[in-house]
Amino acid sequence: MITLKVNGRTHIVDADPATPLLYVLRHDLALNGAKFGCGLGQCGACTVMIDGNAVLSCLTPVSAVQQRSVKTVEGLGTAENLGPLQRAFAEEQAAQCGYCIAGMIMRAQTLLERNPAPTDAEIRRAMATNLCRCGTHMRILRAVRRAAEAIRPGGPARSDAS
């Protein structure tokens, strides 16, 4: 048995310690936000946060997250009460097929928790690990910028010209 803390709740799961965290989240905990994309850590669709760091859950064995805090996109808000990033992604229509979006949001959440006023270059650098095959990169950039403005007191996010 493995004890996990996911989105502030403790869960006990019966899983092989080598099982990827992604599988436990989706199959045992019914948290389907993180997606199986490539299974090789190359696309970012499975991104979650562990202790405040963006992590590829397809490569992370569930045994490595015991005693650590896991956050998934479901932990940022609900359909009735979207979190700032979820709302910004919806408002900017950043999802076309939507497959990459949960991973994108979690990578952006990590960035904004560390830097609430990122430049466009900092956003691009932080988001580079996650791939979007639909090509909504400019909408994603606008969504992260919009969320930064919404969560940060004191005005709009800096531009690269600042």
CATH number at residue 93: 1.10.150.120
Dihedral sign, Cα of residue 120, residue 121, residue 126, residue 127: positive
Our CA angle for 137, 72, 15, nearest 5°, is 130
Query: Residue range 127-132: average pLDDT?
Result: 88
103 touches 45 (CB < 8 A):
yes
Total domains in the chain come to: 2
Whole-structure pTM over 0.85, yes or no? yes
Residue carrying the six token digits 């004890």 = 3
Cα–Cα distance list, 56 to 23, 72, 110, 148 (Å): 12, 11, 13, 23
Residues 89 and 69 in one domain: no
- Read off φ and ψ for residue 144, nearest 5 degrees: -65, -45
**Contact yes or no for 50/68 (Cβ under 8 A):** yes
Q: Could you say which of 75, 110, 138 is where a domain stops?
A: 75
Give 161's pLDDT tier (boundaries 50, 70, 90): very low
Statement to judge: residues 57 and 114 lie in one domain? no
Q: Would residue 157 count as lying in a domain?
A: no
Q: Are residues 8 and 60 in the same domain?
A: yes
Structural domain range at position 126: 84-151
β-pairing, 9-13 vs 53-56, is unpaired
Quick one: 92 and 122 in the same domain?
yes
Q: Residue 157: which pLDDT band, with cuts at 50, 70 and 90?
A: very low
Sign of the CA dihedral running 151, 154, 155, 159: negative
Rounded to an integer, the average pLDDT of 19-46 is 94
Q: Give a yes or no: residue 158 inside a domain.
A: no
Per-residue pLDDT reduced to its tens digit, 92-102: 998 888 788 99
Which of 48, 75, 102 finishes a domain? 75
Mean pLDDT calculated for residue range 40-50: 93
If we measure between CA atoms, which residue out of 70, 46, 49, 21 comes closest to residue 113?
49
Answer with the one of 40, 56, 75 that is the final residue of a domain.
75
- Residue 131 within any structural domain of the chain: yes
Is 161 within a domain?
A: no
User: Is 24 in the same domain as 51?
Assistant: yes
pLDDT given at position 45: 93
Residues 158/126, Cβ–Cβ less than 8 Å: no
Residues 15, 71, single domain; the answer is yes
